Amino acid sequence: MGEAGRRRTFAVISHPDAGKSTLTEALALHARVISEAGAVHGKAGRRGVVSDWLAMEQARGISITSAALQFGYGDAVVNLLDTPGHADFSEDTYRVLSAVDSAVMLLDAAKGLEPQTLKLFDVCRDRDIPVLTFVNKWDRPGLEALELCDELVERIGLQPMPLTWPVGEAGRFRGVLDCLDGSFVRFSRTAGGATAAGEERLDPASALAEEGEDWVRATEETELLAASGGRFDPSRFFAATATPVLFGSAVLNFGVRRLLDVLVELAPPPTPRSDVEGRARPLDAPFSAFVFKVQTGMDPAHRDQVAFARVCSGVFERGMVVTNATTGRPFATKYAQQVLGQQRSTLDTAYPGDVIGLVNANALRVGDTLHAGKPAVRYPGLPSFAPAHFAVARPADLGRAKQFRKGIDQLGSEGVVQVLRSDRRGDAAPVLAAVGPMQFEVAAHRLETEFNAPVALERLPYSVVRRLDDPAQRALVESRRGSEVLTRAVDGTDLALFVDQHTLGVLRRLHPELAVSALVAGAE
C-alpha cells in the first residue's frame, strides 16, 4: 500500500500541435531522466523527443501512437502516458485514459479549447478523471489569461483554480505569480530550451519594483478569480468539478518544474478498480492488471511484441505465472520491462498504478485481464470505436504475400486499424476499417517499413455501419446494391456496411424484419 501511494499515473491530452510531446520531453528533463530536451522536428541539430520514436512520427512531427514513460521524481514514481492528439487516433487515446488516475489538459495559449480537447475532456468527465490544466506557449502572442479561464467555465463547466499566473501578456512572458505564497518566479532562457530554464524567486515587494504594471495586473487578476470561486480547493479537483491551472512554455521549459511538483503533490494515487461485476478490488488483493495497448516494432532488431498493462492490485514479480481471464490460460511473465518511450529495461517488481511492458506477448490482446491466484477477476473490456472509413488492402508485391498477411494480423491485434474479412474477396484481400483516414497512412507505412510488404489500398464507398444481429440475414443485406456484410477478424462480429443512410433506409422499408443495431457513437 505504501508503494501504491507513491505512484502517480497520468496522461497528457490535447488538440494536435498544442505541444504534448514537447511537454512530455520537458517533464522528463526536469525529472533528470534525460540530460537534454529533444525537439519534435529535431530542430537546431537536436535529437527527437523520447515519446515520438516511430519513424513516421519523427518525419511528420505528430504523435500517432501513445507512449509510456516511467521514472522517479523525488519520492514518487511517475507513470506518464503521452497520447496522440489527432482525432483519427482517438481510440488509442481512449484506451490510455482507461489506465490513468488523472490527466493534464494542455491548452494552446493562442487557441484555447479546441474541438479534440473538448472531446477528450468529455471522456475524462465520464470516467471521473481529475484534470489539471497547463496553458502552454505563453512565450508567443495569444489570448488573455482571464479569457482562457472564462472558456473553461463556459464551455466545459470547470472552475479554474490558478496555482500560477503569468506576469506579462502572452508573447512577453516574464515569469509567474505563485498563487499559493504570493511570490514571483522569474525565468531565464537557455539555448533553444534544450536544458531546464533558470528560476529566480522574488518577494512581492521586489516583484513590484522590477515588474511594475505587469505585477500589479497579475495580482489583481488572481484576486478577482479568487473572489469568484477560484481559490484552490483540493477536494474540488479530486471531485473533477474544478481544475488547477498553471501557465508556461514547454518548448522553453518555463513553468514545467512547477507542473511536475504539482502532479506529485496533488494528483491522486491509485484507487481500487471495479471489475465487470462492479466490485471494487482492493489494492492489496492478489496481483491483477489489464492490457490497454499492444505494440510491435519497438525493437527492430528483434521484432518482438509488447503488451502494456496497468497494474490494478497486488505486487507484480517478474517470472510469475498469471492467468489470462479472457482465455483462462496461463501466461508466463519472464520478459517484463520498464518502458521510457522506445527505451526498455528489465523490470523485476511493480505495484498498483505502474505500467509494465510484457514482451513476446503474442497471446495477449487489448482489454485482456491478467490475475494471480483465485478467485478469478476480470475488468471491463475496452471498446472498439465505430469505423467510418474502409479500404481493401492487397500486397503490392505478390512475392511478399506472407509478410503482408503477418503485418495485417499484427496491425489488427494492435488496434492500428480494424481488420474485416469478406466472402467476396477472400482472406488475400482483407478490408481495413478506420476511425479516420490517417490510420490508413500509418498502416501502409508500417507494412512497408516494418514488414517489407508494400500495400495497395482501394477505398470503399461505405459511410454507414451497423451490427448485423442475425447472421442468417447476410444474404438479405448483400442482395441490395450498395451494401455488404464483413466480419470483424478479432471477434467474429458481422458488420453491415452501406453506401449511405438512404440505402439502409430503403432496405429497412423493404424488409422490416432486418435485424441490425447501431454502434454506439464514439465507441461500441
Yes or no: say if 13 and 105 are a contact pair by the CB < 8 Å rule.
yes
Distance in Å from the first CA to the final CA of the chain? 35
Q: Which three cell numbers stand for residue 519?
A: 454502434
Q: Is residue 83 part of a domain?
A: no
Instruction: Give the CATH number of the domain where residue 456 resides.
Output: 3.30.70.3280
Q: Which residues pair with 418 in a beta bridge?
A: 433
Sequence-distant (6+) residues with CB within 8 A of 243 are 105, 131, 132, 133, 152, 158, 159, 160, 161, 237
Res 73: pLDDT:
92
Yes or no: say if 105 and 136 are a contact pair by the CB < 8 Å rule.
no
Rounded Cα distance between 251 and 139, Å, is 9
- 300 annotated ligand-binding residue: no
Instruction: Give the CATH number of the domain where residue 341 resides.
Output: 2.40.30.10
Res 330: pLDDT:
94
Q: Which three cell numbers stand for residue 83?
A: 497520447
Q: What's the structural domain count of the chain?
A: 3
Res 55: pLDDT:
52
Mean pLDDT (whole number) for 150-157 = 94
> DSSP assignment of 415-456, as one string?
TSSEEEE-TTT-TTSPEEEESSTHHHHHHHHHHHHHHS--EE
Residue 511 exposed, middle or buried by CB count within 10 Å (0-12, 13-18, 19+): middle
Rounded Cα distance between 462 and 433, Å, is 10
Please tell me whether residues 367 and 402 are part of one structural domain.
no
Give the H/E segment covering residue 26. Answer: helix 20-30
The predicted-structure confidence for 459-516, as pLDDT tens digits, reads as follows 999 999 999 999 999 999 998 899 999 998 888 889 999 999 999 999 999 999 999 9
Residue range(s) defining the domain that contains residue 353: 273-371
Q: Is residue 69 part of a domain?
A: no
> DSSP assignment of 88-111, as one string?
GGHHHHHHHHTT-SEEEEEEETTT
Q: Is residue 117 part of a domain?
A: yes
Instruction: Give the CATH number of the domain where residue 239 resides.
Output: 3.40.50.300
Yes or no: say if 46 and 192 are a contact pair by the CB < 8 Å rule.
yes
Sequence-distant (6+) residues with CB within 8 A of 421 are 427, 430, 431, 486, 487, 489
Q: Is residue 302 part of a domain?
A: yes
Yes or no: say if 324 and 371 are a contact pair by the CB < 8 Å rule.
no
Q: How far is CA 140 from the centre of its chain?
A: 26
Q: Is the preceding peptide bond at 430 cis, omega within 30 degrees of 0?
A: no
Res 474: pLDDT:
92
| Average pLDDT in the chain | 86
Please tell me whether residues 44 and 191 are part of one structural domain.
yes
Q: Is residue 297 part of a domain?
A: yes
Res 52: pLDDT:
46
Q: Is residue 77 part of a domain?
A: no
Please tell me whether residues 226 and 108 are part of one structural domain.
yes
Yes or no: say if 176 and 252 are a contact pair by the CB < 8 Å rule.
no
DSSP 254: B
Q: Is residue 287 part of a domain?
A: yes
The predicted-structure confidence for 207-223, as pLDDT tens digits, reads as follows 999 999 999 999 999 99
Please tell me whether residues 349 and 444 are part of one structural domain.
no
Please tell me whether residues 8 and 114 are part of one structural domain.
yes
Yes or no: say if 484 and 478 are a contact pair by the CB < 8 Å rule.
yes
- 424 pLDDT band, cuts 50/70/90, is confident
Please state, for a pLDDT cut of 70, what percent of the chain lies above it.
Answer: 88
Please tell me whether residues 259 and 295 are part of one structural domain.
no
Residue 263 exposed, middle or buried by CB count within 10 Å (0-12, 13-18, 19+): buried
297 pLDDT exceeds 90?
no
- 397 annotated ligand-binding residue: no
Rounded Cα distance between 304 and 298, Å, is 8
- The number of residues in the chain equals 524
Please tell me whether residues 145 and 252 are part of one structural domain.
yes
Res 46: pLDDT:
42
The predicted-structure confidence for 301-345, as pLDDT tens digits, reads as follows 656 788 999 999 999 999 999 999 999 999 999 888 887 656 677
Sequence-distant (6+) residues with CB within 8 A of 483 are 477, 496, 497, 498, 499, 503, 504, 507
Please tell me whether residues 330 and 430 are part of one structural domain.
no
Q: Is residue 343 part of a domain?
A: yes
Which of 202, 237, 266 corresponds to the end of one domain? Answer: 266
Please tell me whether residues 452 and 329 are part of one structural domain.
no
Which of 311, 343, 371 corresponds to the end of one domain? Answer: 371
Please tell me whether residues 255 and 286 are part of one structural domain.
no
Res 38: pLDDT:
46
Res 355: pLDDT:
93
Res 49: pLDDT:
47
Angle, vertex CA 174, rays to CA 106 and CA 266, nearest 5: 40
Type of residue numbered 80 = L
Yes or no: say if 348 and 335 are a contact pair by the CB < 8 Å rule.
no
Q: What is the CA radius of gyration of the chain?
A: 25
Residue predicted with more confidence, 424 or 287: 287
The predicted-structure confidence for 9-67, as pLDDT tens digits, reads as follows 999 988 878 888 888 888 888 887 764 544 444 444 444 444 444 454 445 555 445 67
Question: Which of 67-81, 145-159, 316-330 has the lowest average pLDDT?
Answer: 67-81
Please tell me whether residues 294 and 246 are part of one structural domain.
no
Rounded Cα distance between 254 and 139, Å, is 9
Which of 248, 266, 284 corresponds to the end of one domain? Answer: 266
- 84 annotated ligand-binding residue: yes
The residue written with cell numbers 518482438 in the block is 304
Q: Which three cell numbers stand for residue 226?
A: 479568487
- 82 annotated ligand-binding residue: yes
Residue predicted with more confidence, 52 or 187: 187
Q: H/E/C letters for each residue in 52-84?
A: CCCHHHHHHCCCCCCEEEEEEECCEEEEEEECC
Sequence-distant (6+) residues with CB within 8 A of 447 are 404, 407, 408, 411, 453, 454, 455
Rounded Cα distance between 173 and 169, Å, is 6
The total of other beta-carbon atoms located within 10 Å of residue 206's CB is 15
Type of residue numbered 103 = A
Please tell me whether residues 365 and 428 are part of one structural domain.
no
